[in-house]
Amino acid sequence: MKKALVLGATGSIGSAVVYELVNRGVEVTAFARSGDQLNKLFGNQPVKITIGDVFQQDDVEKAAEGVDVVFHAINIPYPEWQEKQPILLTNILEAVKRTGTKLVMIDNIYAYGRSYGVPVTEEVKKKPHTKKGKIRLQLEQMAKQSRVPLLITHLPDFYGPNAGSTLLNYTFQAMIQNKKARYIGNQMLAREFIYTPDGAKAIVELAFQNRFDGESWNIPGAGTITGTDIIKIAKQVTGYNKKVSTVSKNMIRFIGVFDSFMREYVEMYYLNEEPVVLNGDKYEREIGPAPRTPYEEGIKQTLLSIKNNSLTS
């Protein structure tokens, strides 16, 4: 892989993939709608910046010309998923077909549905019970049926530099600003999170290994961790000394009356009650040790990034 296109390059995992590709000497095109954000993130990097709209197939196709691999890291607001996700993916698949490139799809854990306390492998039949989980499975099936050279990666919830719209960032932002901080879900429950630079390293390694045979790959985090431990680490880094309260499902329901994102998030709250943990044995067996930054270091770097961004914004 000498040239790559990253769609959704300004997002949490998309930006991490851009940086990882640059570190490996790949010629990268960073694609997103916001030129200001692209320049802020990559203005000092050897990156080709392309402003475009993934809902305009010509924009995607033009950006994909001459590249070896397209990384699909685009996310859109929950309320738009049902209508726009299939259109978005169709445009990407058609562009990949016409330009003869390969496709990496970066996905979450929603399509797996409930795991009943057992770490899920790639071989488990996906039985999503939520609307968004069913949409993610539909997209996966669309991609496989397209017959494009494809690899699909499944990652747990993100945290890390530039990980703006994430559960942990919601808590960390408030702590950095010394405001009243809240944690979404039971603080005593252990969940799995992935540090975005780790996820990017594993994703890019799969692309370099040319694993474009349509298979799915789980990319796990550094084990599980409770909200209590996350907050403890964050307090040590920030000096925050206030109590961090819990956001319950009923609170999200109430907020959802006024907020469309929270209204859509309610059905995903089960992940805070019945965590889905990824089994990463396939990656470890066929590729090698998965990158696993300890939570202490990952949380520290994430908080430093949030603090630096707040000073420069």
pLDDT tens profile 117-140:
899 999 999 999 999 999 999 999
Which pLDDT band, with edges at 50, 70 and 90, does 313 fall under? low
CA 67 from chain center: how many Å?
Answer: 22
| Distance from C-alpha of 214 to C-alpha of 217, rounded to nearest angstrom | 10
| Average pLDDT, rounded, for the chain | 93
Residue range 279-283: average pLDDT?
A: 97
CA distances from 134 to 74, 81, 202, 206, 211 (A): 18, 11, 26, 26, 25
Identify the pLDDT of residue 262: 76
Say if residue 25's pLDDT is above 80: yes
Min mean pLDDT across 100-104, 181-185, 294-298 is at 181-185
The β-bridge relationship of strands 150-154 and 102-107 is parallel
Query: Phi then psi for 65, rounded to 5 degrees?
Result: -60, 125
User: Whose structure tokens read 């799995």?
Assistant: 192
What confidence score (pLDDT) does residue 124 get? 94
- Taking residues 9-35, report their average pLDDT: 95
pLDDT of res. 85? 96
Q: Residue 166's pLDDT band (boundaries 50, 70, 90)?
A: confident
Whether 255 shows a pLDDT value over 60: the answer reads yes
**pLDDT one-digit tens code per residue, 200-238:** 999 999 999 999 999 999 999 999 999 999 999 999 999
- Give the least confident one: 28-37, 86-95, 176-185, 264-273: 264-273
Longest CA span, the chain: 56
Q: What is the pLDDT of residue 116?
A: 86
User: What average pLDDT does the segment 67-86 reach?
Assistant: 94
Contact 222, 294 (CB under 8 A): yes
Which domains, ranges and CATH numbers included, belong to the chain?
3-162+194-222+276-292 (3.40.50.720)
pLDDT for position 304: 93
Place of tokens 């409770």: 226
pLDDT for residue 263 = 82
Q: Where residue 257 falls among pLDDT bands split at 50, 70, 90?
A: low
| Average pLDDT of the segment spanning 47-75 | 95
Q: Does 53 have pLDDT greater than 90?
A: yes
Q: Which residues contact 64 (CB under 8 A, 6 or more apart)?
A: 5, 70, 95, 96, 99, 101
Residue that wins the pLDDT comparison between 313 and 273: 273
Determine the pLDDT at residue 312. 58
